[in-house]
Structure 1
């Protein structure tokens, strides 16, 4: 037992500590948004790589509650120490496992580096022993670095523009108060671009497919998706036209290569999701300001990660036809990329400054959303009460099949 009162210890978007009760409550709130299945159709066997955060977490929760998903989820999270709490993803996974067990799901969570050959080997052995071939692989990994398992080289991603330097508005919190500042990013060189592609592109996704296919673990009709983003022309210089965009282009090319390789026995797509407040997106310059404006413009039309994951799962299950663009990508971002919405966001972006921030952007909502990524600012949680920081990782075997 390690009961103690926890303080966030944050500076802006970065939090030193996560709150276990708050993280669990966030998962509960997501779970409650998801309808239970109407029938008794058996669920697919799925592998979710990146199941503890963002769209990977949302896809995991929707799959477990609404579609009776079985299989494995993979995350790479840190346990609590004497000085710090466990990572938010650790606590979210612990609660997700409890909800899955309560729903009778045969689903296991493993903690490890998805880029490593050792974890791939362990996952493959577990899948082969317990389930056999899988029906679905969801790839939703956001990481700052990747060690190439074949060369041992460590690649580090860079959030930079390509071609020329970038200056733009950004949202900062000075003394807890939101302000519009300016950021300046120097252009990436070729090495930084290539390293970002190695980390955030499709190389590791391809290795997973290769390893599973080599063991005969892809079922007939197998589907695999990797999460991507396009976004607005407002953020394009630092996102779609930057180093991250180069990585996303590689991810999309990988999807086409995997789809061709499956030869009609399965399908591979990238999924272009809409904007979301995630631990990955909050680190990207300009995205926070853009997202807070988008939230103000869309209001109740905003679609959460759970809302979008539910749409995606309906397509996996054959209950809805995929919405594909001319590049074969599944699009979930129609609500964001609607021309009228983007025109309104652009009009606000062009004129926004610190004086007009309160009316042009929903910064209070954004700040709450960032805090909740770490279990803070969650309604109903007593942050003055001591909390148990040492929460065990879910058992590797969920019990009898």
Structure 2
């Protein structure tokens, strides 16, 4: 077993290594932050498939589903194993910790590591549902953020891009130097060109979600009342040009259109439904890559403080609506909205005022920088309270296996 003292080494918001003990404690912390239901289901809980289960909102969906609904089933993610030179990715260690936690609750969760876009993974999941979980799937949560996707039918690989549409976009963004000193800088992103929009929709739209449903339907694995939700984001007008009105926004609109089409199909075939679930802002490995989002999220925390709703509490609310523990509330576009706490007029006005006056000189009093930096580090298992970062830690953690 390889033991090392790990220190955070990063390039911007991307860290080169992850801390196994910190990642494990993060899972525990998320679990403890998830409210417990009044009555935990006894016996065999509903069977769920969560695609993208190791990070961000997908991880929150896994832990909230386990705690709020007593789910069992299959969790899919795509993570890198440890090597002699590098630790595993943070999601690898979080998955190992989630598996330990699931075993402690007596719930049967199987964790698969691989390409969720591939038909090979779809076959593997279908086989498990058929052979291990009674041949019936109750819920599917789709939470995938990926840079590229290969179409199994054509072999074509598509690449998603973060670009505005029509013209270049200049926006403020937040950066930190090697010593952690903050800088507010203006950056310009050129407009989408050629087939950028189509490529992004092919990766981040609803095509793969629909393919999962088709695959599981073809195997006769959808239970009566089967419900599926794809996790999405709309965000603030401050970031709309690069996000909701940009290439990713077109993909999100395609995801929502896919939900409406799938819901009609599922209603007729199994009395089920498909929805998109719009979540609020959070510090995730995906969101930190979007220009302006880091600044916006830091300012939002500066306005709301502890009233920022963490992903696991949002996903607890989602599970309550999906399982009937709470009424299912949809907006005019048939979306579950878990972002209303963020998008009120008062909150957005306060954030916009701070955004206008945010500079390198003023940012420290406008945004909660300590919180934001710690949140970024916690994505990789660093800056987690209770962890001794001077102590060697075992990095060679195995992927959780499963017995037949």
- Specify the TM-score bucket, using the shorter chain as the normaliser: over 0.9
How much does 1:37 deviate?
A: 4.2
Deviations 1:33-85 (A, max 9, x none): 22444334442110000000011100100111222101000010000001100
Corresponding position of 1:340 = 346
> Does the 8 Å CA contact 1:65/1:100 hold for their aligned counterparts?
no
Task: Give 2:323's match in structure 1, choosing from 304, 311, 317.
Answer: 317
SS at match of 1:181: strand
Pair 1:251-2:251 in alignment: no
Q: Distance in 2 between matches of 1:122 and 1:322?
A: 32
What 5-or-longer segments of structure 1 have no aligned partner? Answer: none
Deviations 1:162-204 (A, max 9, x none): 1100001100112320110111100011411111111111100
> Does the 8 Å CA contact 1:161/1:188 hold for their aligned counterparts?
yes
Q: How many residues align?
A: 398
> TM-score of the superposition, structure 2-length normalised?
0.97
Corresponding position of 1:46 = 48
SS at match of 2:341: helix
Task: Give 2:139's match in structure 1, choosing from 126, 136, 139.
Answer: 136
How much does 1:234 deviate?
A: 0.5
Q: Distance in 2 between matches of 1:37 and 1:392?
A: 32
Corresponding position of 1:30 = 30
Deviations 1:200-221 (A, max 9, x none): 1110000000000111111111
For structure 1, which segment, 205-214 or 351-360, has the greater mean C-alpha deviation from structure 2 after superposition? 351-360
Q: Distance in 2 between matches of 1:294 and 1:304?
A: 13
Q: Distance in 1 between matches of 2:37 and 2:347?
A: 33
Q: Distance in 1 between matches of 2:249 and 2:106?
A: 40
Task: Give 1:127's match in structure 2, choosing from 126, 129, 133.
Answer: 129
Task: Give 2:241's match in structure 1, choosing from 237, 244, 262.
Answer: 237
Deviations 1:91-130 (A, max 9, x none): 0000000000000001110111000011101110110111
Q: Distance in 2 between matches of 1:194 and 1:90?
A: 31
Q: Distance in 2 between matches of 1:391 and 1:359?
A: 41
Task: State the superposition RMSD in angstroms.
Answer: 1.1
Q: Distance in 1 between matches of 2:175 and 2:73?
A: 41
> TM-score of the superposition, structure 1-length normalised?
0.97
Q: Distance in 2 between matches of 1:35 and 1:178?
A: 34
> Does the 8 Å CA contact 2:164/2:241 hold for their aligned counterparts?
yes
Task: Give 2:222's match in structure 1, choosing from 218, 235, 243.
Answer: 218
Q: Distance in 2 between matches of 1:267 and 1:319?
A: 17
What 5-or-longer segments of structure 2 have no aligned partner? Answer: none
Pair 1:161-2:167 in alignment: no
> Does the 8 Å CA contact 2:164/2:190 hold for their aligned counterparts?
yes
Task: Give 2:288's match in structure 1, choosing from 282, 293, 306.
Answer: 282
